[in-house]
Amino acid sequence: MPIREDIVLLASYNASMNGRLYAAAAALPKDALLADRGAFFGSLIGTLNHIVAGDTIWLRRFMGHPADFASLKAMAGIPAPAGLAHLYSDELETLLEHRVRLDGIIQALAEEVSDADLAQALSYRNARGEFSKNFGSLLLHLFNHQTHHRGQASTLLTQAGVDIGVTDLLEWIPDHTA
């Protein structure tokens, strides 16, 4: 089970990597962003939209946590996507605004969450039914989902001739001092 320190680290890594990913994507012309490259969600812009959709779905679910996190109040004004392939925008700048907003909410949540909150169960519903799972593990899933699809986006960028650099979490883990 993760501890609060892990969640804070992952939120920082997440926001930083998203910033690098969008900066790299901005080097491409719009037609290259929209080109179907055979990825799960077709294009680079489709992949970026999917990550935003997944985060929006999970953050809205996290609003049901018994701790009633103040950081998640901002999600009330963000509608749930129609599905995992929801198109927020085919304009990178517009999508980036949404991404930055979500990353701010995620980072605020990471700062707010306690180890006790992470140990609690969160009940939620999706198309397959109702579930109750460990909240800390669900947060890990949120970050893992992003990492998975950012890896795909990184590959699409590499194929288009854009290198986003080192993406390893190891670079964000502080050195341990005795």
- Position 1 scores a pLDDT of 87
The predicted model gives 116-135 an average pLDDT of 96
The predicted model gives 41-56 an average pLDDT of 97
Q: Is the pLDDT of residue 43 over 90?
A: yes
Residues recorded for the chain: 178
pTM for the structure as a whole: 0.95
CATH class of 4-172: mainly alpha
- Position 172 scores a pLDDT of 87
CA separation for the pair 157, 151 (Å, rounded): 10
The predicted model gives 59-64 an average pLDDT of 97
Residue spans of the domains in the chain: they are 4-172
- As a whole-number percent, the residues of the chain with pLDDT over 70 amount to 99
Number of Cβ within a 10 Å radius of residue 25: 23
Tens digits of per-residue pLDDT, 68-103?
999 999 999 999 999 999 999 999 999 999 999 999
Q: Is the pLDDT of residue 177 over 90?
A: no
- Position 8 scores a pLDDT of 98
- As a whole-number percent, the residues of the chain with pLDDT over 90 amount to 92
Q: Indicate the helix (H) or strand (E) that contains 62.
A: helix 44-62
How would residue 158 be classed by pLDDT, with cut points 50, 70 and 90?
very high
Q: Is the pLDDT of residue 178 over 70?
A: no
CA separation for the pair 102, 105 (Å, rounded): 5
- Position 56 scores a pLDDT of 98
Task: Find out whether 26 and 92 touch, Cβ atoms under 8 Å.
Answer: yes
- Position 86 scores a pLDDT of 95
Task: Find out whether 43 and 37 touch, Cβ atoms under 8 Å.
Answer: yes
Token couple for 45: 């812009």
Token couple for 53: 């959709």
